[in-house]
Amino acid sequence: MSINIVKPELLAPAGNFEKLQAALIYGADAVYFGGKNFSLRAFGDNFTRDEILQAVEFTHERGKKIYAAVNIFAHNADLDALADYLKFLDSAGVDAVLVSDLGVLALAKETNLKIHISTQANVTNWRAAKFFHDLGAERIVLARELTCAEILDIKQNCAAELEIFVHGAMCISYSGRCWLSKFLTGRDANQGACTHSCRWKYNLVEEMRAGEFFPVGEDERGSYIMNSKDLCLLPYLDKVIQSGVASLKIEGRMKSVNYVAGVVKVYRAAIDSYFDGNFSVRDEWLNELDKIAHRPYTTGFFLSDGKPTEIYSTSKPSRASDFLGIVRDFDAKTMTATIEQRGKFEVNQRIEFFQPTGKTFSQIITSMRDEDGTEIFSAPHAQQIVKIPVVEPVEIWSLLRS
């Protein structure tokens, strides 16, 4: 069967309303979020019911789509509240729900909501994909643990829309099917409370020698034995698109506005360039992805090239730039930008403006005033409003970075 290639949707994480705004303004076609309950990011900000209504309105005003993650593995005690929540999502106008538990799927089928099967359901073959499609799922978010050839095979044998992760953190076990966090801390990954215990540094302790840590590891690099690199399929985006998937997903509901804006802008440009007929991997895209906090990148299982997907030397992500603020207003007459502060910055510091559509530019901060017009020399307070002169017109929602 030949593959029908359509321009895939770019789907971004919305950990809170501000991140949702950033994702859509920087070029996502759709966003996914979790409510206060029933989604696998219990420690994210997540959305109240009022915020969900606001988010649906903001998204639909822009002609884009919004999906709700309801991907916990439910227990009996959850069912009544889940049924009520799903009815609310339906009435709110959410475009689809992501589910992994068959009980939740059954409840979702009692509403008009479209159903996407979450990656937590670990669909790794076309029979499983077809089974969920026959059950009423419109889309399957495939397991991350698949090669490009396997994705193609699933596409050729199943009429459901397919979604794959193209960027972001990986689980070292089959996505979410892991008891490490629950075992070590009592916080259950399958209830949205993972502590990312796989990224901790481990030593060996002999029972009779409490406090004596024996290193675990094969060489001098150390012992982060389960710490996965981050997925980045940007260099292979042509192959990804040619596999016929309908949606390219960015991981990271817990990540910053800076991460969401940066990753979305890069993938937006890359997808558009493929369909404009001039895709090649550009240094500016790779540089941008390097600036954002990340672990070393990997292609994960996509290429099946056997390269290591773990980092043994550290569990800390690296980043080349700091997120300092968001442009809330721009006065073209006085060439002044109004910034909402997110990180400390000061006069004489070199900063850059990362814009939703325009080019990134850099300048020195020559002076600074607070909201009342008083001259100041630094902006140390969280969410402080600061005005600075700019050397170029700057778009509202641009990010100020070091």
What is the CB neighbour count within 10 angstroms for residue 141? 29
Contact between 86 and 97 (Cβ < 8 Å)? yes
Q: Between residues 177 and 344, which has the closer beta carbon with respect to ligand SF4? A: 177
Tell me if 122 contacts ligand SF4 by CB under 6 A: no
For the record, the structure tokens of 270 come out as 């890359």
Residues 187-206, one symbol each (x = binds ligand SF4 by CB under 6 A, - = not), give --x----x-xxx--------
Tell me if 180 contacts ligand SF4 by CB under 6 A: yes
* Shortest Å distance, C-beta 226 to ligand SF4: 7
Q: Between residues 41 and 139, which has the closer beta carbon with respect to ligand SF4? A: 41
Q: Between residues 176 and 356, which has the closer beta carbon with respect to ligand SF4? A: 176
Tell me if 11 contacts ligand SF4 by CB under 6 A: no
* Shortest Å distance, C-beta 327 to ligand SF4: 34
Write out the H or E segment, with its range, that includes residue 69: strand 65-69
* Shortest Å distance, C-beta 204 to ligand SF4: 19
Which residue, 287, 297, 235, 298, is CA-closest to 262? 287
Tell me if 176 contacts ligand SF4 by CB under 6 A: yes
400: left (phi over 0), alpha (psi -120 to 50) or beta: beta
Q: What residues are paired with 163 via a beta bridge? A: 141, 247
Tell me if 143 contacts ligand SF4 by CB under 6 A: no
* Shortest Å distance, C-beta 103 to ligand SF4: 21
Residues 68-87, one symbol each (x = binds ligand SF4 by CB under 6 A, - = not), give --------------------
Q: CA–CA separation, 74 vs 79, rounded Å? A: 7
Q: CA–CA separation, 2 vs 244, rounded Å? A: 10
Please select the residue that binds ligand SF4; options are 171, 327, 394, 399, rule is CB under 6 A. 171
Beta strand 9-13 with 247-250 is: parallel
Q: Between residues 227 and 321, which has the closer beta carbon with respect to ligand SF4? A: 227
Q: Between residues 143 and 327, which has the closer beta carbon with respect to ligand SF4? A: 143
Kindly report the length of the chain: 402
27: left (phi over 0), alpha (psi -120 to 50) or beta: left
For the record, the structure tokens of 144 come out as 């991350």
Write out the H or E segment, with its range, that includes residue 262: helix 257-275
Q: Between residues 254 and 396, which has the closer beta carbon with respect to ligand SF4? A: 254
Q: CA–CA separation, 285 vs 290, rounded Å? A: 9
Instruction: Give the amino acid at 177.
Output: R
Q: What is the DSSP letter of 49?
A: H
* Shortest Å distance, C-beta 69 to ligand SF4: 15
Tell me if 119 contacts ligand SF4 by CB under 6 A: no
Query: What's the count of helices (H) and strands (E) in the chain, helices before strands?
Result: 10, 21
Q: What is the DSSP letter of 206?
A: -
Q: Between residues 8 and 192, which has the closer beta carbon with respect to ligand SF4? A: 192
* Shortest Å distance, C-beta 121 to ligand SF4: 15
Q: Helix, strand, coil proportions of the chain in percent (round to 5)?
A: 30, 25, 50
284-323: which residues touch ligand SF4 (CB under 6 A)? none
Which residue, 149, 148, 151, 146, is CA-closest to 161? 151
Please select the residue that binds ligand SF4; options are 173, 313, 315, 336, rule is CB under 6 A. 173
Q: Between residues 179 and 377, which has the closer beta carbon with respect to ligand SF4? A: 179
Question: Contact region for ligand SF4 (CB under 6 A) — 6-14, 173-181, 345-353, 386-394?
Answer: 173-181
| Residues in binding contact with ligand SF4, number by CB under 6 A | 12
Tell me if 181 contacts ligand SF4 by CB under 6 A: yes
Q: Which residues bind ligand SF4 (CB under 6 A)?
A: 171-173, 176, 178, 180-181, 189, 194, 196-198
